[in-house]
Structure 1
Amino acid sequence: MPSDSPAPLISLTWTDHVTGTRGFLVVDRLVRGVSSGGLRMRRGCTQAEVAGLARGMTVKEALHFDPHATGVRYVPLGGAKGGIDCDPRDPAAYGVLVRYLRAMRPYVETVWTTGEDLGLSQEVVDRAATEAGLVSTVQAVYPLLDDLGSARRRLADSFALTVNGIGLDSLVGGCGVAESALTALDRSGVAHRDARASVQGFGTMGGATARFLSQAGLRVVAVADVKGTVFNPDGLDVEALLAARDAYGTVDRGALRDGDRELPAEAWLAADVEVLVPAAVSYAVDPVNQAAVKARWVVEAANMPVLPEAEALLAARGITVLPDVVVNSGTNAWWWWTLFGDIGADAEEAFAHTRRSLRALVDGVLERAARDDCTPRAAAHALAADRLPLMQERFGWYGAGASPGPGGHRSRPGPHDGGT
């Protein structure tokens, strides 16, 4: 976002009275009175990190806003993010999550729609939200829906869908990341069968990205998890590895084939590939280790995985970073396409819509980057800066649809149904 962007509308720090754990919420801006952004949990999470992610969500929403589109129901939202400085594997983590959501309940009920992010699954967020007394982690958007009952059924039906054993909600984000990489390959005339990929992180986003890249014909030669890097120059059996991972994305090494090798954790970064996908943690590529990168494209499936100084050094070496605000925006957009009714509860429709949208978005960003002689990240922020004033003019920070209901409070319909 431009340096003259307004300060966040809401920025607060919470301290757990039981453990002393700190949590954060940043609402960067509102559109029609609502913001969108997930909740992450990791040891070392900071307020500054959450603020950067919230600003990124503002950009993601703006990039999916087409002021000239007709018949589109998905309304753009503002950007927000939540974070908790806690190891999600800590036995006390779930209780911390419940108490955090209980403290944030007034914001979730009125201005902040949220859901899974790094360190948290949607199932865990949903369960904790119910214990915290929330109807839904997306209930702030309910007043903007034409038919709340149909919208909630559509979303619930979509979450019930699985494709080859994996939930649709865990696949659409990776579908968008993979399509972003494929768009870059296609624009450069690189055949999919001639391209190799390395993926850091094999959880929801990394695993799905690896699946869709493999299905498109790329050889996924390296996958990294907390135990290290699994490598095979001839290509890994992605589906077998997906079937052998645990809830945290760690692959059971007993499932490795002859020819699969175990390498150190950092080996994924230096793999001789065309496409490098950091899909695990923020700040994974820094000014020092970027020197090991051999890939032609770094595709940011995680949020903020490449530090700005590292990106500048990569660009100087002719390596293009496809930014997170573009390529990993598919999950967030899918929630709203589904809830607002632009797509139905159908996996193929979801994948097709995601592919069309992300391809068009990446094409537009790369064309803007070429026109302005800048990085794709700068081009994405420029496009968002063009669209935000139009959103402001058309919808405003606070919209009539987001005003309190009778008695000064929003209605609270039905049982809990998830986040974004």
Structure 2
Amino acid sequence: MLLSTQTVIHEALHKLGFQDDMFELLKEPLRLLKVRFPVRMDDGSVKIFTGYRSQHNDSVGPTKGGVRFHPEVDENEVNALSIWMSLKCGITDLPFGGGKGGINCDPRSMSLRELERLSRGYVRAISQIVGPSKDIPAPDVYTNSQIMAWMMDEYSRLREFDSPAFITGKPIVLGGSQGRETATARGVAIIIEEAAKKKGIDLQGARVVIQGFGNAGSYLAKFMHDAGAKVIGVSDVYGAIADPNGLDIDYLIERRDSFGAFSKLFTNTITNKELLELDCDILVPAAIANQITVHNALDIKASIVVEAANGPTTIEATKLLTERGVFLVPDILSNAGGVTVSYFEWVQNNQGYYWTEEEVDQKLQKIMVDAFDNIYRVSKTYKVDMRLAAYMIGIRKLAEASTFRGWI
């Protein structure tokens, strides 16, 4: 994951005319904190957890990025994800560098009390390098507004003053923003609409396949269904279901569990591989990384692939899809709605004035459409794919800020 990201960054900087010393600065985070901390489990035992906080580059402002609870969290992952956050902030012109954190754990096997102690322990461990003007965490994989609330409360206790701007993705009553919970999915929906226009596809009746049914995938399925598209396939971690006539999205949302799983309710499931290869107009990988590779890229039948997950398509697969005329919109653009509305939340917390959901959606619409148009224009001007064009725009802001600061 990190190596492939560095490869594209190097190519983007070269296209922009920057020398290798800039690549050496930006190819890895400026700092990475690894922490180990104890958590008292419900059975009375003490378990030691390992957590991370990566801060890629703070030349344009404080770093910003989510915290994920997942058994596969490691240094390589959080480093790569913090770089992607920098690129997303550059694409959307936000005053942040990228950050990312995580704890190596399986939250699905933990009680609410254990999750609360885990969340508070993590904040205590990283408290010296985070804060409203240093590094602002947010929700990510298997974390939510409740976990953000616990983290904010712990940070406020440590600092001995109320600090809502320390973290975003909070409940509304604790300073959260309207529209934050659906922000990532709404951003993807906006990008799908723009991509469909470029390909001449009418969303009304368009066949959509979504891999993943967590926060982003489920809300996106609802948005697509409400827009008149036919969501013909969706999946969770255990399997997938498909119907060429369209699925009952409201039923699936109502019956899924807290981790987005629903497939165990059905007997006629298909595999995730089969889901990706369904005949459709728009394919949205919204689950995990490395789902479209050289092994299945030639079997993808969609005209448009919009990456809602982080890193679902490999570099090699991107080239194969582009050569076949598939319009691929990269993750650092299409799922940037989350960090954009997190920025809105941070602004509202700092000024103590809160916007309506309509205002949030309107501002998000403008930022996402402008970002799409800029990347599409660079793609055509430089004759490169959308991923490289996105990296060029995303990395330029960091490179220019680092130059003005005299770092290079």
State the TM-score, normalized to the length of structure 1.
0.79
More helix by share: 2
Which residue identity lines up with residue 72 of structure 2 in the other structure?
Answer: G
Q: Give the fraction of aligned pairs with identical amino acids, expressed as a percent.
A: 27
2:188 and 2:334 in contact (8 A); partners too: yes
Which residue identity lines up with residue 55 of structure 2 in the other structure?
Answer: V
The CA deviation string for residues 83-109 of structure 1, in whole angstroms up to 9 with x for no partner, is: 222212132762443322210111223
Whether 1:16 aligns to 2:42 is no
How far did 1:181 drift?
A: 1.1
User: CA 1:61–1:155 in 2, change beyond 3 Å: closer, same or farther?
Assistant: farther
Name the structure 2 match of 1:345: 355
SS at match of 2:204: helix
User: CA 1:348–1:137 in 2, change beyond 3 Å: closer, same or farther?
Assistant: closer
Matches within 5 A, 1:121-270: 121-131=144-154, 133=157, 135-136=162-163, 138-139=165-166, 156=174, 159=177, 168-251=179-262, 261-270=268-277
Whether 1:284 aligns to 2:303 is no
Name the structure 2 match of 1:97: 119
Whether 1:2 aligns to 2:9 is yes
How many angstroms apart in 2 are the aligned matches of 1:15 and 1:154?
31
Name the structure 1 match of 2:54: 26
How far did 1:48 drift?
A: 1.0
Of the structure 1 ranges 84-93 and 376-385, higher mean CA displacement relative to structure 2 is found in 84-93
> Which one has more relative contact order, counting CA pairs under 8 Å at least 6 apart?
1
2:141 to 107, 118, 122: 118
How far did 1:393 drift?
A: 6.7
How many angstroms apart in 2 are the aligned matches of 1:181 and 1:125?
29
1:154 and 1:345 in contact (8 A); partners too: no
How many angstroms apart in 2 are the aligned matches of 1:215 and 1:392?
44
Of the structure 1 ranges 281-290 and 103-112, higher mean CA displacement relative to structure 2 is found in 281-290
Give 5+ residue unaligned stretches, structure 2. 1-7, 11-22, 39-45
How many angstroms apart in 1 are the aligned matches of 2:139 and 2:171?
20
1:228 and 1:266 in contact (8 A); partners too: no
User: CA 1:240–1:136 in 2, change beyond 3 Å: closer, same or farther?
Assistant: farther
How many angstroms apart in 2 are the aligned matches of 1:137 and 1:310?
42
Give 5+ residue unaligned stretches, structure 1. 66-74, 142-151, 162-167, 398-420
Whether 1:315 aligns to 2:322 is yes
Whether 1:295 aligns to 2:302 is yes
Which residue identity lines up with residue 337 of structure 2 in the other structure?
Answer: G
Of the structure 1 ranges 380-389 and 242-251, higher mean CA displacement relative to structure 2 is found in 380-389
The CA deviation string for residues 195-223 of structure 1, in whole angstroms up to 9 with x for no partner, is: 21111111111111112222222111011
2:149 and 2:171 in contact (8 A); partners too: no
How far did 1:276 drift?
A: 1.0
How far did 1:33 drift?
A: 4.9
Name the structure 1 match of 2:105: 86
How far did 1:78 drift?
A: 1.1
How far did 1:158 drift?
A: 5.3
The CA deviation string for residues 147-206 of structure 1, in whole angstroms up to 9 with x for no partner, is: xxxxx99885654x5xxxxxx322121011011111111012111124211111111111
Whether 1:367 aligns to 2:367 is no
Name the structure 1 match of 2:16: none
How far did 1:394 drift?
A: 7.4
1:62 to 77, 86, 90: 90
Whether 1:49 aligns to 2:77 is yes
Whether 1:325 aligns to 2:369 is no
State the TM-score, normalized to the length of structure 2.
0.81
Count of residue pairs the alignment pairs up = 367
SS at match of 1:236: coil
How many angstroms apart in 1 are the aligned matches of 2:220 and 2:84?
21
Alignment RMSD (CA, Å): 2.9
SS at match of 1:38: strand
1:54 and 1:80 in contact (8 A); partners too: yes
2:53 and 2:102 in contact (8 A); partners too: yes
2:366 to 328, 346, 356: 356
1:199 and 1:279 in contact (8 A); partners too: yes
